[in-house]
Structure 1
């Protein structure tokens, strides 16, 4: 069965905010929704850049769906890091991302943050994502109920988002979707104000277009003070009924190609134009009070990012220094070790350890002895060839002394055949010819032809 998506999307700035920090994209293959945060214009930059980056995968998948989604989200996060490095004034921005990608047979889901994905099947609503929020972690630990979470003062604090500063761990899964299912992607401007039972009812009724409009209207009527963005899509079997080709939709901040005012198309930063502060953005009803923009408080506090390349260089330098120090300490330790081994078929004391590392010598002969290996019994010869560990130089000398004692024992008449098996008697050392004694005749002198010694009387 080949499936496709019939979709509708709608984004509303809401009744309180002056700018839309939500962004989205929808096509027959790819659905995306990002909810930016960070205050001022930074939130819309984050969501727009994220959607503009990820939507480039809207083509027939050539690899595994989950790998494609994970790679696209990582590239978006890297792009945010590049922007922050160029323009430190947007440091602190971030965005959620929830998306679906279809290859015609399966649909995969990627999710970071607290935007949500739902599925309706036969009139029953099911949440497909898990919020990456502080209160959700308390719910998971059993320290908070869902009703308590709805009124918790930190209910919007995220513990995971695309922010260009941390390693991403997106939730990835292949969805159990079939023709006839309807899916919804929405920002927290919906879920913070509409209960699941009402979302279920609004999502089930009518077409995808009417469902999108009804959910946005209901959220605003319930007093939503945030941007409200939804993507509604039906899973349709190709061939079951004609599916008209639709142009992809890009909406919210991404449709305006939001970016820092000081970053031109060339990517070169000049100077930043003045921006309105939270104190200046009072709508007359006190909703944007001097306490600051709630979007600025949405993240769990993190240290600001500055001089990113310098930080990386310092970290790399520290790591290299620590590794070098560790290797130096390890080498010094090896040079305090001793063992008795074989060197050119003779017994020797070695300093170091009998290990080989390319380009590094860990052992050397400390003391050599004129003790042939073949003069040792077989079992001792094998021990020496394998190396006999010593606790120090003096201990190594005692081991050599014991080996010499064994050789001497085996050199005596009638040695123990078992203890001395394999030992060859040491070769005798060459000696000078003995001096003749006074009573012994000296060397015979040569005689002349008459048989008399040379020098005799005539």
Structure 2
């Protein structure tokens, strides 16, 4: 039957890039996000073609198995169309796109995924990432070599290991079926959102219970506030709920919404790129799909990076310890230039150092036993000596002892 719920789709170029290579689709039963790759022109074409192929299967399905077969078939057809397009237009060679698609069938969500766009499920105030990124850094996370937080800032975070491209007519997809229930919120997004807005803030926005359109606007604003270095595409799907049931024509956003979206823009000139480096950077590919022979090189490079980082930490720790040791040594040496007069068991003694100790470490040592018995001193003088008398130098300490001695002799 036709999906019962509400949805919204929105796409934005972002604050850095000059064109939108993302495409999004929100229909009656089908919901898609595609993030194109291929530089100045190819990404626009790839994501548009993928959404165009998938749009044809936006209909009710009699079973989840039928929907899964339709998804696989449509994505395979898109791969063939990409290959045929590059054959006819060689200037688009190297283009590709991620695809994250969801088909609602009764109480189930049928999912197909390739690349690093994501599908999340918000249920019972908890956000869960349903799809797994097909990226180099995700492979490092899965192997325990880096943490998910490190993956967010890894220099190779945009390297895709799987993508719908112009080389493989039989792409390796993840497809699976999940039960869904009223109140569920499904979020499909490109990495322009997930790479900027963390899960905690995404969950907070979804948990406000606003209508899908307002929620998508809220998430987009957060991405823009975070700098939005990439295109941002969001498709939000509510199952049941308090908001109006979806009706009307499908919503298509991003490059797929442009009837001439697959036209190849004019080539850039080298001079404009030199004069406007930010504009040139804005047209660089957002992703890179490595050839198989480069994979081991990437892995080895990451090993070297980890080793360099570990060595850096060790060297930094050693430097900190050296600085601390030098400071302690310098402080100790300073204490050995100080003197004070105090008492031993039964005589007046000149001590070298300071009166304080650091735990079990004594900062003073007996320097000169004067031979003056404590018993020869007045009660006041004896108490003063036992409490220690600070001196500015060794000569000053000796003058203090002479005064004490005269007092004892006079007594």
1:139 corresponds to? 141
The TM-score normalised by the length of structure 2 is: 0.66
Say if 1:130 and 1:224 are closer, same or farther in 2 by CA, change over 3 A. Answer: same
| Structure 1 residue 60: Cα displacement | 2.2
Contact residue 23 and residue 47 of structure 1 kept, 8 A: yes
**Are 1:287 and 2:278 an aligned pair?**
yes
SS state of the match for residue 86, structure 2? helix
Contact residue 24 and residue 251 of structure 1 kept, 8 A: yes
Say if 1:84 and 1:62 are closer, same or farther in 2 by CA, change over 3 A. Answer: farther
Contact residue 184 and residue 232 of structure 1 kept, 8 A: yes
Question: Which structure 2 residues correspond to residues 239-250 of structure 1 after superposition, within 5 A?
Answer: 243=245, 245-250=247-252
> CA–CA distance in 2 between the matches of 1:23 and 1:146?
27
Contact residue 48 and residue 257 of structure 1 kept, 8 A: no
1:171 corresponds to? 174
2:350 corresponds to? none
SS state of the match for residue 287, structure 1? helix
**Are 1:225 and 2:229 an aligned pair?**
yes
TM-superposition CA deviations, 1:73-105 (whole Å, max 9, x none): 111111101101111110100000001112233
1:68 corresponds to? 70
Contact residue 3 and residue 105 of structure 1 kept, 8 A: no
| Structure 1 residue 293: Cα displacement | 4.5
Question: Which structure 2 residues correspond to residues 49-448 of structure 1 after superposition, within 5 A?
Answer: 49-61=49-61, 64-166=66-168, 167-205=170-208, 206-236=210-240, 243=245, 245-258=247-260, 260-261=262-263, 274-276=266-268, 280=272, 286-289=277-280, 293-295=283-285, 298-301=288-291
| Structure 1 residue 142: Cα displacement | 1.3
Moved more, 162-171 or 273-282: 273-282
Q: Gaps spanning 5+ residues in structure 1: where? A: 263-272, 304-458
| Structure 1 residue 176: Cα displacement | 2.5
Contact residue 14 and residue 227 of structure 1 kept, 8 A: yes
TM-superposition CA deviations, 1:141-165 (whole Å, max 9, x none): 1111112212211111101010021
| Structure 1 residue 210: Cα displacement | 1.0
The TM-score normalised by the length of structure 1 is: 0.59
Say if 1:45 and 1:178 are closer, same or farther in 2 by CA, change over 3 A. Answer: same
Moved more, 220-229 or 60-69: 60-69
> CA–CA distance in 2 between the matches of 1:180 and 1:67?
27
How many residues are aligned here? 289
Contact residue 278 and residue 288 of structure 1 kept, 8 A: no
SS state of the match for residue 91, structure 2? helix
| Structure 1 residue 241: Cα displacement | 8.4
> CA–CA distance in 2 between the matches of 1:61 and 1:52?
19
Say if 1:215 and 1:15 are closer, same or farther in 2 by CA, change over 3 A. Answer: same
Say if 1:221 and 1:114 are closer, same or farther in 2 by CA, change over 3 A. Answer: same
> CA–CA distance in 2 between the matches of 1:302 and 1:288?
31
| Structure 1 residue 298: Cα displacement | 2.0
Q: Gaps spanning 5+ residues in structure 2: where? A: 294-411
Contact residue 192 and residue 228 of structure 2 kept, 8 A: yes
When the two chains are superposed, the root-mean-square deviation of aligned CA atoms in Å is: 2.5
Contact residue 21 and residue 37 of structure 2 kept, 8 A: yes
> CA–CA distance in 2 between the matches of 1:188 and 1:124?
20
Say if 1:279 and 1:61 are closer, same or farther in 2 by CA, change over 3 A. Answer: farther
| Structure 1 residue 4: Cα displacement | 2.1
> CA–CA distance in 2 between the matches of 1:234 and 1:2?
14
| Structure 1 residue 136: Cα displacement | 0.3
Say if 1:244 and 1:59 are closer, same or farther in 2 by CA, change over 3 A. Answer: closer
> CA–CA distance in 1 between the matches of 2:23 and 2:113?
15
> CA–CA distance in 2 between the matches of 1:21 and 1:225?
13
2:46 corresponds to? 46
Name the one with the larger helix percent: 2
> CA–CA distance in 2 between the matches of 1:244 and 1:155?
36
